[in-house]
Amino acid sequence: MFITFEGIDGCGKTTQLNLLHKYLKDIGYNVLTTREPGSTPLAEKLRNVLLNMEYNISSVSEILMFEAARAELVDSVIHPAICRKQIVLSDRFYDSTIAYQGFGRQQNIDDIKLLNKITIREIIPNFTFLLDIPYSVSLERRFGSIDDRIESTGNAFYERVIAGYRSIAEEEPDRVKMIDATQSKEDIFHQIIQIVKPALPPI
Ligand code: T5A
């Protein structure tokens, strides 16, 4: 089983992923968590470049670096873990590139979908939890932390990313479950569990 968490920066992905990880481990599942970009030595190096304010990266290079990080992660971590029947939870996956680079940076979405198809090797999440918050809430939750290269892009960019995520959820309602993430952590987790529990494989 493969579950991904999506949404704009500060939406609470990591919080919910950690709660689900603990819940599944406590009831006896073998769970692996990953983050994008990252979770392999090369992908973590690409993450440092992608988020670093020092670099002025073209939109096309940015897409290709996110895709390269994803290809590394899928090949060396996610695919083998799924073959071992582990439950994999990922903090972001290919929807991020459609939302941020496609909608946010206004790059060609069909081209991104093709690149995603190449990198994911037919690994599609069983569920994707889209934690939906307004940009103002993202700013509140990130108050006091220093913006990285993506976070510094600004309001109009994030409004397009939010709209992009919502359209992905509308296109694929069976996979992408959109949750109002302005609710409490506990209420959000309760909704996630209600969806995940009936679909869990036997231990
Ligand atoms: N990116 C990534 C692309 O542009 N294209 C791509 O293809 C990919 C893969 C990666 C950046 O790269 C971009 C998107 C990103 O800009 P990241 O590692 O995913 O960055 O980091 P962020 O999205 O910035 O994630 P954060 O760790 O900042 O935020 P999370 O994980 O969404 O939120 P979390 O759980 O850390 O919570 C943030 C704060 O809010 C509180 C938490 O306690 C914490 O303080 N919080 C809540 N407060 C109130 N109510 C709730 N329900 C709360 N839930 C959490």
> By the 8 A CB rule, do 72 and 40 touch?
yes
Q: Which amino acid is at 36?
A: E
Q: Atom 1 of ligand 1 has which residue's CA nearest to it?
A: 96
> By the 8 A CB rule, do 91 and 36 touch?
yes
Collect all residues with Cβ–Cβ distance below 8 Å to 67 and sequence separation of at least 6: 97, 115, 116, 118, 119
Please report the atom of ligand 1 found closest to the CA of residue 18.
35
Q: Please count the structural domains in the chain.
A: 1
Please report the atom of ligand 1 found closest to the CA of residue 145.
28
Place of tokens 């529990």: 197
Q: Atom 23 of ligand 1 has which residue's CA nearest to it?
A: 9
Neighbours of 151 (CB within 10 A): 19
CATH classification of the domain holding 182: 3.40.50.300
Range of the domain at 100: 2-199
Identify the pLDDT of residue 39: 98
Neighbours of 12 (CB within 10 A): 23
Measured distance CA(14)–CA(174) in Å, rounded: 22
Measured distance CA(77)–CA(47) in Å, rounded: 16
Please write the tens of the pLDDT for every residue from 42-64. Answer: 999 999 999 999 999 999 999 99
Collect all residues with Cβ–Cβ distance below 8 Å to 12 and sequence separation of at least 6: 131, 133, 141, 181, 185, 188
How far, in Å, from the CA of 180 to the mean position of ligand 1? 15
Q: Atom 29 of ligand 1 has which residue's CA nearest to it?
A: 10
Mean pLDDT across the chain: 98
Identify the pLDDT of residue 194: 98
Identify the pLDDT of residue 81: 98
Mutation test residue for ligand 1: of 4, 5, 9, 132, the one with most atoms within 8 Å of CB: 9
**Residue 88 backbone dihedrals phi, psi, to 5 degrees:** -110, 130
Averaged pLDDT for residues 91-105: 98
Identify the pLDDT of residue 197: 98
Please write the tens of the pLDDT for every residue from 135-146. Answer: 999 999 999 999
Pocket of ligand 1 (CB under 6 A): 7, 9-15, 35-37, 66, 91-92, 96-97, 100-101, 141, 150-151, 181, 184-185, 188
